[in-house]
Structure formats: C-alpha cells, structure tokens
C-alpha cells in the first residue's frame, strides 16, 4: 500500500470520527432529536408488526432520514446563530424559527406518510 493511499484512508476515518462525534453530541444535547429517534423506532417496529412492502420501507426510511437530518441541520443553525449573535436580535430569531419550520414541515409529512402506510393495515385488523 502506498503512502498516498494510506493517507487517504486515514482521512476517511477522520471524517467518519467527526460524524460520529456529531451524532453523539446531537443525541446527548438535543431532546427533540431523541424524540424523533424514538418515534422513528416505533414506526420501524410497526413496520415489522404490520408487514410493509419494500417500497413502503423505502419511503419510511427516507422520511425518517429526512426528519433526523433536518433536526441536525436545525440544531447546527441554532448553535451558529448563538455563536455569531449571542445577544437577542430579531433576525437571529427569524433564522432560528425558519430552520425549526423546516423540521416541522418534514415531521408533519412523516405523520401523513405513516398514516398512508399504517392506517390501511390497521383497518384490516379491526
């Protein structure tokens, strides 16, 4: 293995370590991320309990990833704003509110998708 190849491999692992640290930080410090993760786990359990198709799994995993990703981005934006503008500023509040709105839109979409996937299966059980 050449030195250049070894260096590239090491850099990839460093990037992975940074991502792992970010996930650890968001999990430990952000209550909403943990709530979204818990609900995602429940949705996956429902997918196992009420067997869903591969397409439904793909949609479910995609919307879960979207909500969790937006929550990470929202938290990152909030921290950057707090760092750059520690004092209360109307523009800072609006930026934070808009980032939170993106999470809310995805969360509402996830509820609607969950209803589309799970309600018909639940209705068959009744």
pLDDT tens string 101-113: 999 999 999 999 9
Q: Is the pLDDT of residue 51 over 80?
A: yes
Mean pLDDT value across the chain: 92
For helices 90-125 and 54-84, the axis angle rounded to 10 degrees is 160
Domains of the chain: 31-125 (1.10.287.3610)
Q: Is the pLDDT of residue 5 over 70?
A: no
> Which range is least confidently modeled, 5-14, 56-65, 74-83, 105-114?
5-14
pTM given for the model: 0.86
- What is the distance in angstroms between the CA of the first residue and the CA of the last residue of the chain? 62
Q: Is the pLDDT of residue 3 over 60?
A: no
Catalytic residues, which ones? 71
What tokens were used for 47?
A: 């997918």
> Which range is least confidently modeled, 9-18, 70-79, 98-107?
9-18
How big is the chain, counted in residues?
126
Report pLDDT for 91: 92
What tokens were used for 43?
A: 């949705």
> Distance between CA 115 and CA 92 in Å, rounded?
35
């Amino acid at each position: 293995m050449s030195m250049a190849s070894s260096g590239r491999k090491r850099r990839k692992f460093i990037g992975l370590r940074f991502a792992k640290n970010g996930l650890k930080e968001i999990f430990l410090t952000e209550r909403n991320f943990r709530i979204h993760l818990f609900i995602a786990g429940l949705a996956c359990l429902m997918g196992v309990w009420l067997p869903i198709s591969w397409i439904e799994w793909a949609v479910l995993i995609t919307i879960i990833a979207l909500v969790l990703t937006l929550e990470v981005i929202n938290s990152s934006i909030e921290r950057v704003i707090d760092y750059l503008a520690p004092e209360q500023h109307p523009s800072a509040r609006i930026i934070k509110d808009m980032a939170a709105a993106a999470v809310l839109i995805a969360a509402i979409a996830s509820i609607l998708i969950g209803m589309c996937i799970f309600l018909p299966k639940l209705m068959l059980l009744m």
